[in-house]
Amino acid sequence: MDLHLTERHRAFRDELRGWLGANLERPWREVLRDPAATEDGLITARRAWQRKLHGAGYLGMDWPAEWGGRGGGAVEQSILDAELLEADAPPILNTLGINLLGPALIHHGSEEQRRRFIPPMLAADEIWCQGFSEPGAGSDLASLKTSAVLDGDDFVLNGQKVWTTFGPWADWIFVLARTDPKDRYGGISFILCKLDTPGVTVRPLRQITGESEFGEVFFEDARVPRANLVGGIGEGWRIAMTVLAYERGAISLGQAVQYGRDLGRLAAACREIGREDAATREKLARLVVENEVMRANGIRTLANLADGKAPGPEASIEKIFWSEFDQRFRETALDLLGPGGQLVRTSPEARVDCDWARQFLWSRAETIFSGSSEVQRNIIAKRVLRLPQDPR
């Protein structure tokens, strides 16, 4: 066992910290509280920040060097994620492009596709959204019905995608579409579609936070060039599954940094409002303990990655842990803060340390997206515990 960062990784972290100190103008929470910050304004700020990060070579770090990678690996990526959260930097705007489509193109795309799509993706010139879920296909994603029918050199797309994160601001969407209605898994293809294509309509959906970070996308006889197919016809499911494995990397470490910082703020707030009784202290202590255990899970994953072990289905354990912990944390925060914890961030009375109300609401999304807690438990039962499967 050795949980020290290697010399090389420590050097990388120190260099990154120096760069963040010199380049991050103000913490993201301050930007969010700016009364002048509209949703569009925040997108602009995030676009600018992503360009800066890209310019410094911090995006797509574990990709091959010709696509902006720095020969780093999953360890550098995890360090970057954690340090960005520690510094309270703006969230990277094109996360879906970089985290999901990027690896899909690198592993399954053609050379022309990589050349065409990766540079503007990294530079935030083209923002991507993900067209996987449908009104009738959520956890049971393979039951998706959006169809792609080959007609000459084009696919003709019909159907509807939903919960499309960044849909309202995106330029492009990567779509899982059905090219064979009879083949459940082998009848799905991975297709790239420009959102201003005739026949494509994007409608924002208002979330329980009041924001419209996601939307729905309608396809009515939308024609997409065949050249926008990633991999072969019918390879979409396999590509999507390998790509989703990337989405569930070693993120506990970054979450522990983020929640740990908010926990410190909660403890300070409790002192400030005169809440220092034994019951409060026990609640805080339990959160501290769970956050430390989550950090230990993250350190373990990081060390395994550094040791050359690929992340396996155990990633489901981390996903359940951090998302369900965050819900308990945010609920406890509101309990301890009292009704003032429900004030929206633009209220002059709201606390400036953290947007407690928004985080309380947002935490409900975390146990649903990227594979719900229930799907994760199914994965653990099947692939880790190898329990007998019920005929479905």
Q: Which residues bind other proteins (CB under 8 A)?
A: 1-6, 9, 75, 263-264, 267, 281-282, 284-286, 288-290, 292-294, 296-297, 299-300, 302-304, 306-307, 309, 314, 317, 320-321, 374, 376-378, 380-381, 384-385, 387-390
Q: State the nearest-atom distance from the C-beta of 304 to other proteins, in Å.
A: 5
In the complex, minimum distance from the CB of residue 268 to other proteins, in angstroms, rounded to a whole number = 8
Q: Are strands 172-178 and 128-131 parallel, antiparallel or unpaired?
A: parallel
Closest to other proteins by CB, 2 vs 66, is 2
Q: Cβ 299 to other proteins, closest distance in Å?
A: 6
Closest Cα partner for 172 from 228, 220, 240?
228
CB nearer other proteins, residue 165 or residue 301: 301
Which CB sits closer to other proteins, 142 or 384? 384
Token pair 């969407």 is found at 173
Reply yes or no on whether 247 is catalytic. yes
Look up residue 4 and give its two tokens. Answer: 């020290």
Cβ proximity to other proteins: between 227 and 384 the closer is 384
Residue with Cβ nearer other proteins (367 or 376) = 376
Q: Give 50: exposed, middle or buried? Use CB within 10 Å, 0-12, 13-18, 19+.
A: buried
**Closest distance to other proteins from the beta carbon of 160 (Å):** 29
Phi, psi of 218 (to 5 degrees): -110, 140
Q: How far apart are CA 368 and CA 170, in angstroms?
A: 22
Q: Do residues 240 and 190 touch, judged by C-beta distance below 8 A?
A: yes
Pull the structure tokens for residue 61: 């770090």
Q: Measured over all CA atoms, what is the biggest interatomic distance in the chain, rounded to whole angstroms?
A: 72
Report, in Å, the least distance between residue 79 CB and other proteins.
11
How many angstroms separate the CA atoms of 361 and 326, rounded? Answer: 11
- Distance of closest approach, residue 326 Cβ to other proteins, in angstroms: 15
Give the number of other CB atoms < 10 A from CB of residue 240.
Answer: 20
Active-site option among 76, 126, 213, 247: 247
| DSSP string for 134-159 | BTTBSSSGGG---EEEEETTEEEEEE
Q: How far is residue 333's CA from residue 16's CA, in Å, rounded to a whole number?
A: 32
> Computed from CA positions of residues 377, 383, 385, 389, in that sequence, does the dihedral angle turn out positive or negative?
positive
What is the distance between the alpha carbons of residues 266 and 14, in angstroms, rounded to a whole number? 28
Cβ neighbours, 10 Å, residue 286: 13
Nearer to other proteins, 209 or 378 (CB): 378
Cβ(340)–Cβ(266) below 8 Å: no
State the Cα–Cα distance between residues 172 and 126, nearest whole angstrom: 7
Burial class (CB in 10 A: 0-12, 13-18, 19+), 239: buried
Nearer Cβ to other proteins (153/390): 390
Cβ of residue 285: shortest distance to other proteins, in angstroms? 4
Residues labelled as active-site residues: 247
